[in-house]
Amino acid sequence: MKVAPMWLTPSSWGLALRSALSAGVVVAAALVLGAAALLYVLDRALLFALDDAATSRAADIVAGLRTDSPADLDGQLLDTDQRITLVQVVDSGGRVVRSSADDPGLPVTGVQPPPGNAPLRGLVTQGAGGADLRVTVQGSRGVGGDYSVIVAASEEPVEATLATVGGLLVVGAPVIAVVAAAVTFKLVRRSLRSVERIRTEVATISSTDLSERVPVPRPRDEIAALACTMNDMLARLQSGHAAQRRFVADASHELRNPLATVTAALEVADARPEILDQELIRGTLLPEAMRMQLLVDDLVLLARADERGLPLRVTDVDLDDVVDTEVRRTRLGDRVTVKAEVTPVRIRGDADQLSRAVRNLIDNAVRYAATTVTAAVHRRGDTAYIVVDDDGPGIPEADRVRVFERFVRLDSARSRYAGGSGLGLAIVAEIVSAHGGSVRIDPMAGGGTRVVITLPAEQPNP
């Protein structure tokens, strides 16, 4: 199969050339239609003007015949000019009794309207030399009998005018189309220079260095908006890439500590088997292994949430039962008093995930509380609230949003050594968001920390 040359394939042409050709074709088509309409309107207007001139002359002659005989008519009424080429006065017998020509000859038309009727306009006939004439005929009752006044106007001036205008359009239309195509080509090429600079800059940006930005053109047009959008996208990619790298580094660091502890304990046990007793297993190996297991579970949950959203098994959930269960679980063997203040509230959600969120909040509060933790559930309108208070050192206002990010620990007592991995509040935020709710930290007048979860509640049965 023979392949057509590239210059015959429009899809291989540049955008500037295609735009220029399209603009030229559109302008040419518009000019052709406009020229046809202009010539038609001009032809009608000029012919109408001829008929008006002939009708006016016929009316003047009819007025003169009311008082004078054809032989006594004012000679100026029979004068010809560029438009009026022939004037004839015909009696009732069909003879030309007065004419603007030296040789009157026969009437140019045989139509004889009755006297007093409206003139007949726009009758087309041919003159002696073959020229097209537009004839106006009007009947008159004058001195000596009835007459027909015939006034003929030549169409040659109209045809000459149309030919001149048409010739100018034929010459000017291609020039205008070519100029429009050239201007379009230049403007598109100028705009595409900015796009080419953006493309070149994007091609140089690598996945290891997302700090580069594309140039923003000075004119604030659509190209500049595209550049700004791409810069915003690059900023988001850079932020996401940095967050991913931090996430991997933090996860590696968190897993390294328990792995190092377990490895060291096993190496000691391997060198001195008699040391491998229940105290080493229960005091070192099992806690570190459980810590790794919990951390891996947290990382898997967050990875699933990032990939396709947190999967939920939605059922009817009594929030008061969830909170009460977690409070009773925490009371066993803890140094801090944990209280529950709940009222019946039912929502649609995943009971296991909600229990995990409440457990994380209560465990976090117990870890940093001085004496008391209070978990409350109540409802206001269509919103359910879970509020967990502790009387610990509190969280500075500047960090109350940041603590819900992953692997974020404050430099105070809330640190790794207190047992946290920096993922608990991040998991709470993911679970609450998956349920269509929100989580925030509110200030407390007496100090401490108050975490508030809001969730959409079910409408109570009437």
The reported pLDDT for the residue numbered 128 is 66
If you count DSSP H runs as helices and E runs as strands, how many of each does the chain have, helices first? 8, 12
Rounded (5°) CA angle 44-109-68: 100
Nearest to 121 by CA among 190, 65, 48, 181: 48
Give the integer Cα–Cα distance in Å for 367 and 299. 21
Cross-strand pairs, 387: 376, 452
Alpha-helical (H) ranges within 66-86 are none
Phi (first) and psi of residue 345, to 5 degrees = -140, 130
Residues composing the chain:
462
User: Quick one: 312-456 is in which CATH superfamily?
Assistant: Histidine kinase-like ATPase, C-terminal domain (3.30.565.10)
Reported as a pLDDT band with limits 50, 70 and 90, residue 29 is: very high
Give the CA distances from residue 377 to residues 318, 380, 382, 384, in Å, rounded to whole numbers and listed in that order: 10, 10, 14, 7
C-beta separation of 323 from 347 below 8 A: no
Q: Which two tokens stand for residue 259?
A: 């792995």
Round to whole Å and give the CA distance between 448 and 374: 11
DSSP 8-state secondary structure symbol assigned to residue 18: H
Instruction: Classify domain 222-305 by CATH number.
Output: 1.10.287.130
The first and second tokens of residue 383, run together, are 């919103």
Residues 396/409, Cβ–Cβ less than 8 Å: no
Q: How far is the C-alpha of 243 from the C-alpha of 332, rounded, in Å?
A: 38
Of the candidate ranges 70-84, 233-247, 370-384, the one whose mean pLDDT is the lowest: 233-247
Q: What is the pLDDT of residue 460?
A: 53
Q: Strand locations in 107-186, DSSP E?
A: 120-126, 132-142, 145-154
Higher-confidence residue of 126 and 436: namely: 436
Pick the CATH number of 12-204 from 3.90.1580.10, 3.40.50.300, 3.40.50.620, 3.30.450.20: 3.30.450.20
Q: Are 460 and 449 in contact (CB under 8 A)?
A: no
Please report where in the chains the tokens 């803890």 appear, as a residue: 334
- Average the pLDDT over 364-388 and give the result: 91
| Mean pLDDT to the nearest integer, 261-281 | 73
Q: How far apart are CA 275 and CA 265, in angstroms?
A: 9
Cβ-based burial of 327 (10 A; exposed 0-12, middle 13-18, buried ≥19): buried
Q: What are 320's two structure tokens?
A: 């008061």
Residues 407-417: tens digit of each pLDDT: 676 644 444 44
Whether 92 shows a pLDDT value over 60: the answer reads: yes
> In which region does residue 427 sit, left (phi positive, over 0), alpha (psi from -120 to 50) or beta (all else)?
alpha
Higher confidence at residue 83 or residue 388?
388
What pLDDT does 102 receive?
A: 67
Predicted local distance difference test score (pLDDT) of residue 156: 87
The tokens describing 196, both together, are 């080419």
- The residue among 335, 413, 395, 326 whose CA lies nearest residue 361 is 326
Whether the CB-CB separation of 439 and 449 falls below 8 Å is answered with: no
Which of these ranges, 66-75, 377-386, 432-441, has the smallest mean pLDDT? 66-75
Q: Where are the domains of the chain?
A: 12-204, 222-305, 312-456
Task: Give this prediction's pTM.
Answer: 0.49
